[in-house]
């Protein structure tokens, strides 16, 4: 068994950036098709039911499904990091992953402090990780998602 290598702030920020770009590539054409180009210049927070589904609900479901089946989002997979249970180092439960996503909102307030906590925490946990009992770790060469670390 190898020593656990926690994924720090910058690699996790990089994974989030990759994920955001991928989501934008998918949702931007859909929103433009439905609402027109004015959608991107408009001042409304929400333009309608399709906006809520495409911009908020679908990305949340996709992220949680990726976490459940791959222990990572595409950005994390590309950067060779994964989410594990903080106690066992194995796969987190579905409930932990749903709780982790909901806890993102706690990490956002105030001023994204819960995300910045990753940079100063001993095990590189954000508030959402602490609340869900998860860690983000680097995968070793040849390891598959969810293996013991």
Residue 141: predicted pLDDT: 61
Domain count, the chain: 1
Residue listed under structure tokens 């068994």: 1
Quick check: is 131 in a domain? yes
Q: Do 91 and 77 contact (CB within 8 A), yes or no? A: no
Q: Which helix (H) or strand (E) holds 134?
A: strand 134-138
Tokens of 70: 């791959």
Quick check: is 67 in a domain? yes
Distance CA 74, CA 15 (A): 8
Catalogue the long-range contacts made by 109-114 (C-beta closer than 8 Å, 24 or more residues apart). Answer: none
Quick check: is 81 in a domain? yes
Residue 3: predicted pLDDT: 83
Residue 140: predicted pLDDT: 73
Residue 2: predicted pLDDT: 65
Provide the domain limits for residue 134.
Answer: 9-138
Cis status, amide bond into 29, omega within 30 of 0: no
Quick check: is 146 in a domain? no
Quick check: is 1 in a domain? no
Q: Are strands 81-85 and 134-138 parallel, antiparallel or unpaired?
A: antiparallel
Tokens of 113: 């402090």
Q: Do 86 and 125 contact (CB within 8 A), yes or no? A: yes
Helix 58-70 and helix 9-35, axial crossing angle in degrees, nearest 10: 140
Quick check: is 147 in a domain? no
Residue listed under structure tokens 């950005």: 75
Helix 94-108 and helix 58-70, axial crossing angle in degrees, nearest 10: 130
pTM of the model: 0.88
Residue 62: predicted pLDDT: 97
- Reading the chain (149 residues) residue by residue, the pLDDT tens digits are 568 999 999 999 999 999 999 999 999 999 999 999 999 999 999 999 999 999 999 999 999 999 999 999 999 999 999 999 999 999 999 999 999 999 999 999 989 999 999 999 999 999 999 999 999 999 976 555 444 43
Quick check: is 25 in a domain? yes
């Amino acid at each position: 068994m190898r020593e656990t290598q926690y994924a720090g702030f910058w690699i996790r920020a990089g994974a989030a950036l990759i994920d955001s770009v991928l989501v934008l590539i998918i949702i931007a054409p859909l929103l433009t098709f439905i609402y027109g180009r004015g959608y991107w210049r408009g001042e409304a927070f929400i333009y309608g039911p399709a906006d809520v589904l495409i911009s908020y609900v679908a990305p949340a479901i996709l992220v949680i499904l990726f976490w459940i089946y791959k222990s990572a989002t595409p950005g994390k997979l590309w950067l060779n990091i994964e989410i594990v249970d903080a106690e066992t180092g194995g796969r987190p439960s579905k409930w932990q992953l749903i709780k982790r996503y909901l806890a993102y909102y706690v990490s956002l307030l105030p001023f994204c402090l819960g995300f910045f906590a990753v940079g100063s925490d001993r095990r590189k946990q954000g508030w959402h990780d602490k609340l869900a009992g998860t860690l983000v770790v680097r995968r070793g060469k040849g390891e598959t998602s969810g293996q013991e670390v």
